[in-house]
Structure 1
Amino acid sequence: MAIYAIWNNKGGVGKSYLTFQLASEYARQNRDKRVLVIDMCPQANSSSMLLGGMVDGEERLTEIHSSQARKTISGYIEDRIRSPYMSPNSGAGYITQVSTHNNRIPSNLFLVVGDDQLEIQASRVTSATFPGPQDAWRIVHIWIRDLIADIQASWNDEDCCVFIDCNPSFSIYTELALTAAERLLIPFSADGSSKRAVKAVLSLVYGVRRYQGYPQSDFFLETTRYRMALPDIYMYIGNRLTQMNSSSASAFKTVDNEIGDEIWGVWQSSPQTFCIHPNGSPTPSSRRAFKTMFQYEVNDANTASIVSGALGIPIASLTAGKKNLAGKIITVNQSQLDKQVPNITQLVQNLE
């Protein structure tokens, strides 16, 4: 089993869109595996896309959120707030088979639905880390790991792959997601703020000091104290990049190189922070080999990207032609699909 968290300490880099595409394509390519998405973002955007998109998906989200038994991530968190230091082993009751709501999604893909109540619960989760046993912080921070273990046990420990969609803010529920993950995918966009955000990821999670004497995060200090495993950096992904002319391509390359330099510096000092892939591959010995292994670029499919998410149709299954989007006819061109489909297909082939 592999558990991937998709996170960057910056909004607008397409974490939820990437989660939707990667999980759907992984399920399509690996029909013999169960695929699980855990939506840890209060906006529940990846849940909306998986359940059918901007109209149908939102209606299904409303139905799920309105049910008396809240079959969402917040429902599970509520279970854990009531039983903070001993798992109720209830996680399997919170999964939804996505294809029962959206037949565009492979039947082997399952979802723990996102919920905006995570924001309201955050302070109650944080308060659970203070009373109780001496290692209360550690116990609370493995709640999502317990959730995954419950679900995997209900699947008789069959091989599966998990994708966790994270919120950009470094809140308690983001911390829970990261302590559950084994591998970290870091999306970024081609702008200067993405460089700062990548620095923040390295600082908050891995304790890389941004400035001399800069304090390290409580999360890093506590995970170190309890000797808890942190997710290995698996790949950083330039997401939905637009390169329309030589100047934009040059601008992207400059930003891309700056971000790459940051992570290359971490590799040189702490290579154990990274996950060598695929298994058995030689350790990168040069900047070029490092970039080949740990960097990937996903082009923007423009209108096709928007239609894919808005209709809940994975980009690899979307066809060219006219589409009805909230009562308006939108045309998807094959050239748009050709920009992104190969990227997503190949990227998933690099996931183990």
Structure 2
Amino acid sequence: MTLGFRMWGCGNWPMEPVDEAHPIGNSGGEFQYYPGYWGPYFHTGIDIVVDNPAPSGPYVLTKDTGKVDNVTYPGPDCPSNESGLQLSFGGPNNGTTQVYAHLNCPVTDPVRTAFVNRTDLPAGTEVAQVIEWPECDYHHLHFETWDMSGAVEPVLKLFPRHDKDFPVVENISFTQNGSTIEDFPPPVVTVKGKVDIVAQAYDRQFVTPTQNHKTGVLKIRYQVSDATTGNVVKTGKTIDFSTIPDSSKTTVLFRTAGDFVSSSDYCGDERYYYVVTNVDDNNPANFAEEFAWDTTKHRDGDYRVEVRAWDASSNAGLKAKRVKIRNN
């Protein structure tokens, strides 16, 4: 198999055509859990979904020029129908790495040659097509980007990126002490003490008529204002998945039981319950169950709690709920 390089217009997506945004099935930092296999964990890349896998689907292409660190089953003989590619950029102490997974084996000759000879593989090189996924026609390239801080959300470095879909905050609930039930139910939400705010939210990224998946959001934050004066009395730190947290924090930032069962699979069961209060007011990269909205710092009365979520195109979605504080 000898394939070459594709020249495109302005764009750098790792899937042809590179100058068009492609639908994303799972996002960076999204909740993932496959009982009996993996999880819970944060998804460490994006899934670019396609309608048609190999042999008729589009080709995966290298986003940047780099060294080929590893090829799983480079061919020409393939003990598995799935291959993978890992590229590195810069030195081991200051470089980045890209991972391309779920590729149809074998990879193309230019990839295999660069791997064997330790030569640079140019950006825009055809690598392979994606494999046929066995569940729900979820054929996809899993694409990761890593730097010295860890896994980062790859879509932030892709262009064009003009997403027309805004994140959606579906609901806001209030619990205490890590509870998995709604401790302060409507219709009149009355809270006291230290309160957890749980927001059900999702995004859709670059959808098409055939690919319309719910993904996680890039950023999410809560804010509290006095319903009488309109003055903001509390702004929580923004939980930002641009750099993907360690998976030990997955069940800190997501509720996974009771009234709040976060779920993400290949077949459309996609629900994300973010605990937006489990972030340190002094360090937005520190997450723990001990953090909460301390309502004792405010006078009793009526308040407006809003949760806002953002995507990689700076689109924002918002939901607000009225609550009463009654500590006395």
Both proteins in one fold, TM over 0.5: no
- In our comparison, the structure showing a higher alpha carbon Rg is 2
The structure carrying a bigger strand percent of its residues is: 2
Question: Relative contact order (alpha carbons < 8 A, sep ≥ 6): 1 or 2 greater?
Answer: 1
Relative to the length of structure 2, the TM-score reads 0.26
Relative to the length of structure 1, the TM-score reads 0.25
